Amino acid sequence: MLQSVEYPVNVGSIFRIADACNVEEVVLTGITPSPPHPTISKVARGKEQRVSWRYVKSPQEVITSLKGEGYTVCALEVTDQSVPYYAFDYPSRVCLVVGHEDHGVTRQTLALCDAAVFVPMYGKGRSLNVHVCLGVVCYHILHSGMPEGVWDERQDSPGAHRSAGG
């Protein structure tokens, strides 16, 4: 769920990550721009047409609905209670919440989340771009419970793609 992610470049990048990680759905909320949008389409490279998405004005409405469907809602945000992304035990049904590039996930939305995780910073910068942070966590979730050898099988399967970017 994108809570008021303002910049179309980030939204487009998140659609690419969602496609790459086979995400079930992207939910756009608040002031997040939605397709059709020329910048989103250019950056997403058509993935906004392949990944299921919807716009709901209120993030609180989305969270309440997803919790009713058995999802655990986890914000990507630094809080007093947040834990490093690699130390959280992600359930099979999880909704990741990212927030505005400058203001993050709002307190109101955080209050409804079940947990919060963060990506530790080891350099002088205090944060990563919102889509980069989401990519780190999504790939961690994909690979954290994967039995040994499954990755090799996926790489060798028909239609498997490797990418160094682009």
Tokens 């961690």 belong to residue: 140
Report how far Cα 5 is from the mean position of its chain's Cα atoms: 11
Q: What is the mean pLDDT of the chain?
A: 91
- The predicted pLDDT at position 64 comes to 98
- The predicted pLDDT at position 150 comes to 52
* Beta bridge partner(s), residue 72: 94
List the chain residues with pLDDT less than 70: 146-166
Q: What are the residue boundaries of the structural domains of the chain, listed by start?
A: 2-149
pTM of the full predicted structure? 0.88
d(CA 141, CA 81): 20
State which amino acid sits at residue 70.
G
The set of residues, in sequence order, having a beta carbon less than 8 Å from that of 54 and lying 6+ positions away, is 25, 27, 28
The three-class DSSP label of residue 27 is strand
2-149: CATH number: 3.40.1280.10
- The predicted pLDDT at position 136 comes to 98
- The predicted pLDDT at position 146 comes to 63
60: exposed, middle or buried (Cβ count in 10 Å: 0-12, 13-18, 19+) = middle
d(CA 161, CA 166): 12
The set of residues, in sequence order, having a beta carbon less than 8 Å from that of 78 and lying 6+ positions away, is 104, 116, 118
Interaxial angle between packed helices 130-144 and 8-20, expressed in degrees from 0 to 180 and rounded to the nearest 10: 10
Between the alpha carbon of residue 106 and those of residues 42, 44, 97, 159, the distances in Å are: 29, 26, 11, 40
d(CA 1, CA 48): 14
Residue 146 tokens read as 């994967």
Report how far Cα 53 is from the mean position of its chain's Cα atoms: 13
| pLDDT digits 0-9 by tens, 76-117 | 999 999 999 999 999 999 999 999 999 999 999 999 999 999
